[in-house]
Structure 1
């Protein structure tokens, strides 16, 4: 008999979306891999976190505070959640950008939209040009592109910058990001958020998906991964150094990857410990990758990873409606209505009047931005979490999913205790005593003065002197959290994205994380699947074209490879 092949030992550093995806794909092969996942936090999920709030005061017992939701085209994320027994909730994505004369929205045409009619019409032609010459425009920052096409400064500052900043997390670096991102908001089938309109820029109120309780999703995901028996999670374990990534000169140790880690819990840290592996997946941000690799980082890794720029933002969760009214348009005001032109076609007039009537009854923004008067290229962002997140209207933590529904991969994984608890209908009654108001459909929700808002103050080092955070009533603050955010400046698409393929798979090391392309949960998930695939694991959603489309693109862009021959269909797949 031939000896049983030894299991390949894989170390994954990071238990966010990318690390969990890699672990999940590898867990499906218990006969091939033995996996250890390290994370210094106490829970899995990375930036996808939930925090507890006072249900009797705010109408819900928790919020998702780091990641809110996604576009319906984010197929890998949606399918993974459904398999675990969780369902995202559809919500109309209404936006409120600017204040007073600078206000505009996708719900009804405003004076500002009327002012920029020529720029808006020209914008469609610019998108088509960018799509045609995408490799070139990937290297051109948005502020240069706007000048190239002859757009007014006001149009860029008041309409384009806020739009991109809000949905891609580019913040105050938006003028310097790649123009290709802008085109993908409207054109890319795997990332599209909006339909372009030559009259109003945004054609409609698109459907977004609000995530179920992310803490429970990730706990259930961890239990599903562990159920296969070949993956161990070491939370509160911080990897501090990669000592080596080859076995040269260490004849007693066959595994080339040598790491040092420490256990940090309750303010106490252990002495450094060591472990050995065959392969390494770094599912942490680029800065952390370089710090962990230390002297082991190659010249190429230092150049590619060192090119990723990070900024520091602070998120303040609060229920200060006075603050929101001071800086944003939170309710419908007919004074902002665009003028009805007497010579416009009757059909256009009817549609405009209908949009005003709709806004009067249904205006309920999820997203807000405000430009600072001192520098209108820099903004502040806010969310109305009560409008956005479904638990404030009585949805259970698992979202609107039937435990018996097996269609479209729902409840495909063995339900864990976490999943069953999140699917319990009684969980939706928590906080209902505070839900004394009504939403636009007549469903009970907290009144506006009890809404939970989240305001994000961007770019500590470059914009803190502009922040209005001291205007938030301290008694209205619920939670404050600092974040390390990737900048999507054009240099990222010149010096990092096209070069990832040259470092992925070198020295027994693979990289996973949305930072490798674009800051999206969907890309984080896809990147983890790609790293596991390079190690020989199957792509979990093979033959699901909606999921596989982005996976193939990512595999080509970040790893420089196609799917294996047996997984391909067609010459160009």
Structure 2
């Protein structure tokens, strides 16, 4: 969608077709209509959830600028409270110091000294997995299992591959201005409750995005349509007047079609499958794309508060407090007593604490439960102006992995925030529990979730950030991007973040001659320049840069 937007700015130069096997645009940025408070369902306090992508760091400048400045939607502010472990022996949080934090006080101080060392020698540590790094610097094993691994898993340990995540990633979560999520504290590891952004209703965001692209006149969509195969540079393609010959499968019955160039804005596995079905990948593509490891996870969206209480610390408990009487700690304890609203929760499996299950409290995370309109408070558009959206609904959502069946929902006629709205009781909160890595499903406690309290189950194919990714894929993407009239876009090409997905799309389009839409915004352009250098071994065109080295 980012690449499509860049192309749409030059309709006289580009004729673009966006093909997606799904029925909706936006990839994992999807919305789902909650069941109403009938037929035994409680009053959840909102009509919908964003069920895939939840939000972003405030430093995701390209994403937020696209949403807010271009499309007119506003993200809401939220404090990222986290709850790791359960009970005195394993619990800790960024909201108040726990007994576990005091137990590892020496390791925490050492960790603060190690982070700058990793930054200084980042190319080396990019190839060192987190578990190996912890052994190198002689951290206690329990510190890694109880504090470091769950912290990495929070954002980067998809597929329960946390031990194998590159050490450079955790350094960047603390020190990189484009990825930073946490502030280090030598007293408690995490210094504060980070300020995050919760997205407005993503079905509407991407629905309007699609409408804008189609209105430009040079971008068309083929949804519910898969690409079966691609032939590149073959005699047949050239006879038909192009470099790329695409054959489709799915609801669209049209025949093969030729193009000058192709951007694979999908996962690496799918790109390889499509190429294998056609004229075949190059040996470099086979090596680089084949090195990306994917794992299957399932999210269960539910309202089973009993399950959550059993496995997570859902309520503030002073018994978990560190044995401290300094003023700062007292303030933290008081704050937690009055404002405990964890939205990220992680449980470690006792047989292997490096393996985790994670949950969200979507009621605490997403602004609509507190009266935020679907377009965001003070948005530039009203719900009246936004197009109807497609959300997964009812029983169909439970069989989403097999058969998507979205419904078009009616629109409210205003975008006025109800600032006096009260959050529903915790028994009526909407929770989402993620069970990681299907191959290790014997550890899952999924069957403990009450069947009558499940709202939605959904499978996800998730990339792993293991160290091999930063040895065999990321540094070599420039060698295949632009070759054979082919480019690759997606967060998998660097780090699994919405912002990277956006910038990768802008970069792919830019490499084909499109405009970068935010070239005058230094905050946006910083990551774009870095990605262009890493992914294409290129820099911005002379008319777009402010200096020789920009």
Fold shared per TM-score above 0.5: yes
1:30 aligns with 2:8: no
Which consecutive residues of structure 1, in runs of 5 or more, have no partner in the other structure?
1-19, 265-269, 342-348, 406-410, 430-440
Moved more, 497-506 or 395-404: 395-404
SS for the counterpart of 1:549 is helix
Deviation of residue 298 (structure 1)?
0.5
Residue deviations 1:204-248 (CA, integer Å, cap 9, x gap): 001010000011100000011111100000111111100x21154
1:444 aligns with 2:422: yes
Change (3 A) 1:23 1:250: closer
RMSD between aligned residues: 1.9
Mapping of residues 533-548 of structure 1, within 5 Å: 533-548=510-525
Q: 2:173 aligns with which of 182, 185, 210?
A: 185
Match of 1:303 in 2: 287
Q: 1:196 aligns with which of 179, 184, 189?
A: 184
Deviation of residue 415 (structure 1)?
5.8
Change (3 A) 1:271 1:79: closer
Mapping of residues 30-179 of structure 1, within 5 Å: 30-56=11-37, 57-82=43-68, 83-101=70-88, 102-179=90-167
Q: Is the 8 A contact 1:281 1:531 kept in 2?
A: yes
Q: Is the 8 A contact 1:247 1:253 kept in 2?
A: no
1:313 aligns with 2:297: yes
Change (3 A) 1:551 1:422: farther
Residue deviations 1:433-460 (CA, integer Å, cap 9, x gap): xxxxxxxx97511111100000000011
Mapping of residues 62-461 of structure 1, within 5 Å: 62-82=48-68, 83-101=70-88, 102-242=90-230, 244-246=231-233, 248=235, 252-264=239-251, 273-294=255-276, 295-340=279-324, 349-403=326-380, 416-417=386-387, 424-425=413-414, 443-461=421-439
Rounded Cα–Cα distance in structure 2 between residues aligned with 1:155 and 1:404: 48
Moved more, 528-537 or 563-572: 563-572
Q: Is the 8 A contact 2:156 2:165 kept in 1?
A: no
Change (3 A) 1:251 1:212: closer
Moved more, 392-401 or 66-75: 392-401
Residue deviations 1:453-482 (CA, integer Å, cap 9, x gap): 000000111x21111111111111111011
SS for the counterpart of 1:51 is strand
Rounded Cα–Cα distance in structure 1 between residues aligned with 2:377 and 2:483: 44
Rounded Cα–Cα distance in structure 2 between residues aligned with 1:249 and 1:25: 30
Deviation of residue 169 (structure 1)?
4.6
Deviation of residue 59 (structure 1)?
1.2
Deviation of residue 401 (structure 1)?
2.3
SS for the counterpart of 2:256 is strand
Q: Is the 8 A contact 2:97 2:188 kept in 1?
A: yes
Change (3 A) 1:120 1:491: same
Q: Is the 8 A contact 2:174 2:181 kept in 1?
A: yes
Which consecutive residues of structure 2, in runs of 5 or more, have no partner in the other structure?
38-42, 390-409
Q: Is the 8 A contact 1:396 1:422 kept in 2?
A: no
Change (3 A) 1:228 1:271: closer
Q: Is the 8 A contact 1:96 1:328 kept in 2?
A: yes
Change (3 A) 1:223 1:104: same
SS for the counterpart of 2:465 is coil
SS for the counterpart of 1:108 is coil
Q: Is the 8 A contact 1:312 1:483 kept in 2?
A: yes
Mapping of residues 505-544 of structure 1, within 5 Å: 505-544=482-521
Residue deviations 1:128-179 (CA, integer Å, cap 9, x gap): 0000000000000000000011111111111111111112353410110100
Deviation of residue 284 (structure 1)?
0.4
Rounded Cα–Cα distance in structure 1 between residues aligned with 2:124 and 2:195: 31
Residue deviations 1:488-515 (CA, integer Å, cap 9, x gap): 1000000000010000000000000000
Change (3 A) 1:427 1:293: farther
Rounded Cα–Cα distance in structure 2 between residues aligned with 1:422 and 1:545: 36
1:551 aligns with 2:497: no
